[in-house]
Amino acid sequence: MLARNLALTAALVILTLTGCSTAASPQSSSALDELGELTLVESKAPTQLLRNEAAARVPTIVVQDVAETTDGSEACLDSGDDPEGLARQWTSTATFLVTNSQAARVATVTSDVAATFTEQGWAAEPDGAVTTLTSETSGVVIHLEAVAKDSGEHAEIRITATGQCVRTAGPESDEVLELEHAS
């Protein structure tokens, strides 16, 4: 009996000294640690494809010209959580100049484009001139913006697709520089 009590006492001392407990010890995790395994290169293609898909849904009769297309990565966490800018997301934008005869319809056109996505299960959240499209099956978010005509300016439709926030080696890393150079 004495041997058993000594063994139990020794086990309790060991557990106490090693800090072992049945409850999981809390671990601190930052927003950067919570990013998944997806890479920037893996998020680039679906982001560009969805931007292109949205652009293809703009009626050609409305478009005077493609003013600009841009692709690149940008920081996606605030500098307090990610001071080195390691968390990045791919952003792909197309801006269309709208013909003068169609300028009054620019908001209707973007609404119609959004409707084609909602018919496919996307959720649309209009907020003024911008409609944000999200899908449960895609990590890409699409923003459709109707830019009204100012005096001397063309009305525009701006489509921006933003990929998932992923962990990289930073804005000057080979991965980021190669992807941005290839765009």
Taking the domains of the chain in order of start, what are their residue ranges?
40-182
Identify whether the C-beta of residue 68 lies closer than 8 Å to the C-beta of residue 93.
Answer: yes
Average pLDDT, the chain: 83
Identify whether the C-beta of residue 71 lies closer than 8 Å to the C-beta of residue 180.
Answer: yes
pLDDT score of 20: 36
* Angle (deg, nearest 10), helices 40-56 and 174-182: 20
pLDDT score of 11: 38
pTM over 0.85: no
Per-residue pLDDT tens over the stretch 134-155: 999 999 999 999 998 776 678 9
**Which band of pLDDT confidence, cut at 50, 70 and 90, is reported for residue 101?**
confident
pLDDT above 70 covers a percentage of the chain that reads 83
